[in-house]
Amino acid sequence: MAPSATEQAKASERDALIARILPQMVLSNGDEASMTGPPVPAPHYINAEGRARLRFEVEGNAIVTGGAGTLGFEAARALLEHGLSGLMIIDVEPAQAEDKINKLAAEFPSAKIKSLKVDITDDAAIAKAVAETAQVFGSVDILLCFAGVVGCTHAIDMTSAEWKRTLDINTTGSFLCAQAVAKQMIEQKTGGSIVFTASISGHRVNFPQPQVAYNVSKAAVIALKNSLAAEWARYGIRVNSMSPGYMDTILNEGDGIADARAVWADRNPMGRMGNPSELTGAVVLLTSSAGTYMNG
């Protein structure tokens, strides 16, 4: 008896599976002509003070997602302090931070500072924003991903909509932004630095609040960073992540979480939450001349 159409389709799928050829990553050879060659030494005539300044110099233009928020805004300011030429703040509601963005522009008159309203789960909107940034500034050299959401819900009560929203913004959004920026960097042939904001939540379970979706989303960001760092190194694109602990921002304020704040402090050897400014050193390190051999 002749095989049915369903059986023929399954056989065809098996044949295709057996015949498939896997795509393979390409690594750089690291020589001076490659995108991963060693940095050019500082000129011999520069003194110690000049070398110190050059070590943490931030060059080019940056996109900061979630840049209107406390952590993203502090990081953006730090990049400007270390020499950033152009800053594009991407946020779902940048108008809420219009006053402080204007003040930032007045504080750094030699830099171009712009903002765009973008939903980072919309790949077309992200691609458009990256293209506009490159057109306005001339290049995109740095991406900081600070856009994210957090929710505390018992796993047994978690809805699929809440689960998907958290992963869509924190994980998929980070990937889509990195992908769009990487395409621009590859086209420029300049390389660049991408920094994700992961979390301690991606390494261990928080206590006392239940936040399974957030924890999973941040663990995925760490895996994402590792994968992209390997794939994109040959283009001179470094991909790293930071895993902040509890930071003293508006998200962690209010009498309703006073008990949780006390637990967080009690379980921390330093006995306190972090100040947003305490993340900026890591940001500058990963995006400056000092971080040229830091990847993944």
The number of residues making up the chain comes to 296
Looking at the structure of the chain, the number of domains it has is: 1
Q: Which one-letter amino acid corresponds to residue 95?
A: A
Query: What span, in angstroms and rounded, lies between the C-alpha atoms of 237 and 235?
Result: 5
Query: What span, in angstroms and rounded, lies between the C-alpha atoms of 134 and 274?
Result: 34
Q: How confident is the model at residue 14 (pLDDT cuts 50, 70, 90)?
A: confident
Kindly list the distances between the CA atom of residue 9 and the CA atoms of 5, 18, 19, 22, 167, in Å, as whole numbers in the listed order.
Answer: 6, 14, 15, 22, 34
What per-residue confidence (pLDDT) applies to 34?
92
Measured between its terminal Cα atoms, the distance across the chain in Å is 56
Q: What angle do CA 181, 119, 81 make, to 5 degrees?
A: 55
Inside any domain, residue 207 = yes
Does 161 score more than 80 pLDDT? Answer: yes
83: left (phi over 0), alpha (psi -120 to 50) or beta: left
Mean pLDDT, range 259-282, rounded to an integer: 91
Q: How confident is the model at residue 1 (pLDDT cuts 50, 70, 90)?
A: low
Q: CB neighbours of 274 closer than 8 A, spacing ≥ 6?
A: 244, 245, 246, 247, 248
Inside any domain, residue 65 = yes
Contact 22, 30 (CB under 8 A): no
Domain that holds residue 125: 51-291
- Look up tokens 């009560």; give the residue: 157
Residue closest to 71 by CA, chosen among 222, 197, 204: 197
Inside any domain, residue 11 = no
Quote the tokens at residue 185.
């960097």
Contact 30, 37 (CB under 8 A): yes
pLDDT, one tens digit per residue, over 120-151 is 999 999 999 999 999 999 999 999 999 999 98
pLDDT, one tens digit per residue, over 198-257 is 999 999 999 999 999 999 999 999 999 999 999 999 999 999 999 999 988 766 767 778
Query: What span, in angstroms and rounded, lies between the C-alpha atoms of 74 and 250?
Result: 14
Inside any domain, residue 66 = yes
Inside any domain, residue 221 = yes
Query: What span, in angstroms and rounded, lies between the C-alpha atoms of 249 and 246?
Result: 9
Residue 288 is given by DSSP the state: S
What per-residue confidence (pLDDT) applies to 251?
66
pLDDT, one tens digit per residue, over 163-175 is 999 999 999 999 9
Residue closest to 70 by CA, chosen among 90, 93, 97: 97
For residue 196, what is the domain's CATH number?
3.40.50.720
Q: Which one-letter amino acid corresponds to residue 128?
A: K
Inside any domain, residue 260 = yes
Active site residues: 199, 214, 218
Contact 287, 57 (CB under 8 A): no
Mean pLDDT of the chain: 93
Mean pLDDT, range 36-53, rounded to an integer: 90
DSSP 3-state of 174 = helix
DSSP 3-state of 293 = coil
Residue 170 is given by DSSP the state: I
Inside any domain, residue 286 = yes
What per-residue confidence (pLDDT) applies to 280?
97
What per-residue confidence (pLDDT) applies to 122?
97
pLDDT: which is higher, 69 or 17: 69
Inside any domain, residue 37 = no
DSSP 3-state of 41 = coil
Query: What span, in angstroms and rounded, lies between the C-alpha atoms of 182 and 160?
Result: 31
The bridge status of strand 112-117 relative to strand 192-197 is unpaired
